[in-house]
Amino acid sequence: MIRKLIYIPNGIMVPEIHVMLSLTQNLIDDKKNKVRIITCGGDKDFACSKNVFAIKEICKACVMQRKKAISTLKGNFEVIEIKKKIKKKFQFNFKNVKNLYYEKMDFGLGVYSSYTNTTRDSELDGKLAKKSTSLLFNTSTEIFHFFKEHLKTNKYDEIITFNSRMNERRPLFRFANKKKLKISNYEKLTIEKFYNFKNNFSQDRKFLKKQINYFNSINKNYSYKREREFYRKKFFGKEDTINPKIYSSDQVINKLPTNWNDKKKNIVFFTASDDEYQSFGKNFNPLFLKNQKNIIEQTCKLIEGKKDYHLWIRIHPRWDNVRWFDKDFYKLILKKYQNVGIIYPKEDISSYTMVIKSFKVICFWSLLIAEAAYWRKEKTISLTRNDYSELGIAITPESFSHYKKIIFQKKKIEKKIEIKALKWAHFFLQAGKKIKYFKGTMHTGYTFRNNKLSFDPTSGYFYLIGKLKEKFLINQNNK
């Protein structure tokens, strides 16, 4: 009897393909297991998080890479491809796709996550948004119906998947949970360590709180030396073992805006990509003024006329050269409000120096929340509920009046906030496990059995042509 189901929907998701092959090889090595891999067959109009416009060349390259990758496994296993059979196409209001449910499961959020992850079009304004979301949703329903039928006659003692948020993975994840099947949902904690979130998304704040508190409870006398070093290296832009990109490495330590005045109460607002927090669902959206621009404008109005305050809006470095970044909005903010400053993505102003010297720090959902809490020994204002607010290192305003209150209230420095930030780091740095056969980072490249699984000339050609078509579509869409 086949005991383990491994779901590998595509072959070009990095480092997922390397992680999933490593997990699979570990299962194959245990002779007690019989392993079945289920993957995508690359049918026409199949759209996923790596190919939101269903471009045939990307699909072809993906299938070629997946077959090549699976061929590197050693031992006995079985492979089944999902071939689309559902002819029915569904019509829906694509502008409301985030709230779209199918058989009482939130497939719409998976569609939105996949679409915005590629396009960054969080408002679904482009001409291609309707077509892409339709393709993504229909792909989700077809994957769902495949597994619905497959799992009627095939029983497994474990289903293994990776980061189940996107449209090609969410159907299996949600269906397994609905039917109370055992599912292992892996996601990274550090660059080379991974954690099994089981039947939870890796963003589940209540699950994370329990895991973090439990992990710290079995290490009561821990010194947190490694965690302090983590925060210090992050501050100086030397190393980040959690995220592949160290944005502070492009910033100048202790550099502040030219008109920064230490005598004023400086408030720093760190922006986020709208698509990121929206794609996690309503529980991760601000509890008031859900549009980020509205929140920024209302924050400007709160300090308007208060000469002893200054608001600094730090635009996330990721927004550099992103077409959906509305630079005109921020230019207008500067014209309207005198005591507001804008730090644009490419500017080398030190975010950490601003954090330490500020009166208040405002974020959406970012590691910077924990970092600010650690350095300032004060709760960071987090506009969304998350693992940080659950642990007590951030405070999430319940209403606009509450937001106003905590912005202007006196600083409250507490040693226990620093300790809580260290406990958060302790879990993320040390709770995860390395997976045998997997190695690498974004900078060095990922490997399975020391094989980087690079494109060969043919698959590389198809992938390049497909990505050029994708870029052309996005550029045309934005004109």
66 vs 60: CA distance, rounded Å? 10
45 vs 138: CA distance, rounded Å? 9
Q: Is the pLDDT of residue 358 over 80?
A: yes
What is the predicted pLDDT for the residue at 272?
Answer: 85
Beta-bridge mates of residue 82 = 40
Classify residue 374 as left (phi > 0), alpha (psi -120 to 50) or beta: alpha
| Residue 250 Cα distances to 176, 236, 264, angstroms | 43, 10, 27
CB crowding 5-26: b at 16 or more within 10 Å, else e: bbbbbbbbbebbbbbbbbbbbe
Range list of β-strands (E), 126-233: 158-162, 183-188, 194-196
Would you say 16 and 162 are in contact if contact means Cβ atoms under 8 Å apart? yes
What is the predicted pLDDT for the residue at 287?
Answer: 80
pLDDT (mean) for 164-178: 97
Peptide bond into 244 cis (omega under 30): no
Classify residue 184 as left (phi > 0), alpha (psi -120 to 50) or beta: beta
Q: What is the pLDDT of residues 369-406, one digit of tens each?
A: 999 999 999 999 999 999 999 999 999 999 999 999 99
What is the predicted pLDDT for the residue at 288?
Answer: 82
Burial class (CB in 10 A: 0-12, 13-18, 19+), 389: buried
Which pair of tokens denotes residue 148?
Answer: 């619905």
Would you say 426 and 412 are in contact if contact means Cβ atoms under 8 Å apart? no
182 vs 432: CA distance, rounded Å? 20
CA atoms within a 13 Å half-sphere pointing along the CA-CB vector of 242: 21
Which pair of tokens denotes residue 377?
Answer: 């020994």
Backbone dihedral angles phi then psi of residue 455, each to the nearest 5 degrees: -65, 140
* The one-letter amino acid at 126: G
| Domain 225-430 CATH class label | alpha beta
**Which residues lie closer than 8 Å to 209 by C-beta, 6 or more apart?**
387, 390, 391
What is the predicted pLDDT for the residue at 277?
Answer: 65
Q: What is the mean pLDDT of the chain?
A: 91
Closest of 452, 433, 441 to residue 184, by C-alpha:
433
Closest of 48, 387, 37 to residue 201, by C-alpha:
387
Q: What angle do CA 29, 170, 245 make, to 5 degrees?
A: 75
Q: Is 385 helix (H, G, I), strand (E, B) or coil?
A: coil
Q: Which residue has the tokens 């954690």?
A: 195
Would you say 25 and 430 are in contact if contact means Cβ atoms under 8 Å apart? no
**Domain segments of the chain: what residues?**
4-193+433-477, 225-430
Q: Is 360 helix (H, G, I), strand (E, B) or coil?
A: strand
Cα-Cα end-to-end distance for the chain: 55
Q: pTM of the predicted model, to two decimals?
A: 0.91
Task: With cut-offs at 50, 70 and 90, classify the pLDDT of residue 145.
Answer: very high
7 vs 363: CA distance, rounded Å? 35
At the second CATH level, the architecture of 4-193+433-477 is 3-Layer(aba) Sandwich (3.40)
Would you say 266 and 359 are in contact if contact means Cβ atoms under 8 Å apart? yes
Q: What is the pLDDT of residues 99-141, one digit of tens each?
A: 999 999 999 999 999 999 888 888 887 778 999 999 999 999 9
Sign of CA dihedral 459, 462, 468, 470: negative
Q: What is the pLDDT of residues 5-38, one digit of tens each?
A: 999 999 999 999 999 999 999 999 998 889 999 9
Classify residue 289 as left (phi > 0), alpha (psi -120 to 50) or beta: left
Q: Is 118 helix (H, G, I), strand (E, B) or coil?
A: helix
**Which residues lie closer than 8 Å to 203 by C-beta, 6 or more apart?**
165, 280, 284, 386, 387
222 vs 154: CA distance, rounded Å? 46
| Residue 73 Cα distances to 193, 296, 426, angstroms | 21, 51, 34
Q: Is 330 helix (H, G, I), strand (E, B) or coil?
A: helix
The yes-or-no answer to whether 4-193+433-477 and 225-430 have a common fold is yes
What is the predicted pLDDT for the residue at 320?
Answer: 66
